[in-house]
Amino acid sequence: MKPKSTFPIFLTVLLLICATFSVFLCHRLSSDATTSEPYPILQDSAIEVVADSDGDYIKWVDFNITCEAMTAAYELDVASYDSPVHLNWIELLAYVGAKCGGSFDKNSIALIQKLASELSNKEVTLEELTKDMKYYDYYLEAYEAVLGGMVGEYEIEQPDDSGNKTWKKVYGLKAFSPIAKGFPYNDYDDFGSSRSYGYKRQHLGHDMMGQVGTPIIAIESGYVEALGWNQYGGWRIGIRSFDKKRYYYYAHLRQNYPYALNLKEGSVVTAGDVIGYMGHTGYSPVENTNNIETVHLHWGLQLIFDESQKEGNNEIWIDCYELTKFLYKNRSEAQKKDGTKEWVRIYEMKDPSGSKYLNDKPIPAE
């Protein structure tokens, strides 16, 4: 007589274990949905949170907004500035981000336009639309961190009919392309590609290939936080936004004359200012060495939700390719000062955020 198979008993036990684990998992997911933590962790790791003694803060951001989506939201924002309902471009983008899990495609613009129409016609409020969107607050904070200083009121010089400069107060894009107007460059989406100098690592920035001496422009107003030699980036500049959420990194600047005259750590710069010059320095512990084969600007954008992220394992660098395409619409014009290697912007700008920073800055004790 053949012994009875134990497989059905084993299978039954296994199914009971799986069912028990499923009940436990569902309970945990239900509990997570009502947790007091503001940013629960998503399975796709696009949203990740770490807690410390100062509370919770965003640990990771995948910035996937296309240039076309940014342009559509931006134009709606500017067009509605004096309207009864002023549309906020970052809120429009955050809505699409929350609705589509951070993905933007050819349908994103239609979603943005539909939302704008509903809000403008007062058919619904954004609060009503987003009250049950679990991750809307996350996307709003994340996109605000990336784009928050780029649109607003400012004053800028413009030529009149006679060619004279006049000051004009405007509302719109007050961030600039990092390459001065009239200077050619080429680029492609190279974020995340491998780098081998020193140690194997990812490329956490965006390269723009051009000519030695091309004027490099401050993308956003801020203050110089770092200036000098770095063996990876060569001569480089680090500029922090006034709200401290963004750190702009400009690297591989020109040999012998990398920076704009009088630029130093602590200097306040206005968006559109010439801050340095394109080169190919870096990849050497020896200062002022040209060890980069291709002349280019490497620029990177680091997001900082907590100061512990500034330098360490929790750094957040985003893909700037689509953002670079968007900023192309605003390029600062520069002219060379006779008899020097120096270039300066042609049309000056007054950024209220810079004035506020200087007014709020503590006066050093004597």
CB-hemisphere CA count at 13 Å for 121? 7
Could you report the per-residue pLDDT of 243-281, keeping only the tens digit for each? Answer: 999 999 999 999 999 999 999 999 999 999 999 999 999
Contact 193, 209 (CB under 8 A): no
Burial (Cβ within 10 Å: 0-12, 13-18, ≥19) of residue 255: middle
User: CA of 39: how far to CAs of 94, 184, 313, in Å?
Assistant: 14, 42, 20
Closest among 306, 359, 301, 309 to 326, alpha carbons compared: 301
Query: In the prediction, which pLDDT does 42 show?
Result: 29
For residue 365, the 8-state DSSP code is P
pLDDT at 13 over 50: no
Domain 175-356: which CATH number of 3.40.1190.20, 3.40.50.2000, 2.70.70.10, 3.40.50.1820: 2.70.70.10
Res. 337: pLDDT tops 60: yes
Structure tokens at 123: 């058919």
Say what the pLDDT of residue 205 is.
Answer: 85
Residue 330: pLDDT over 90: yes
Q: How high is the pLDDT of residue 314? A: 84
Q: Render pLDDT for 121-163 as a digit per residue (tens, 0 to 9).
A: 999 999 999 999 999 999 999 999 999 999 999 999 999 998 8
Q: Is the pLDDT of residue 202 over 80?
A: no
3-state secondary structure of 56: strand
- Each domain of the chain, given as residue ranges in start order, spans 67-147, 175-356
pLDDT reported for residue 364 = 59
Residues 112/96, Cβ–Cβ less than 8 Å: yes
Amino acid at residue number 175: A
The answer to which of 7-21, 201-215, 219-233, 282-296 has the lowest mean pLDDT is 7-21
pLDDT surpasses 80 at 192: no
For residue range 281-297, list pLDDT tens digits in order.
999 999 999 999 999 99
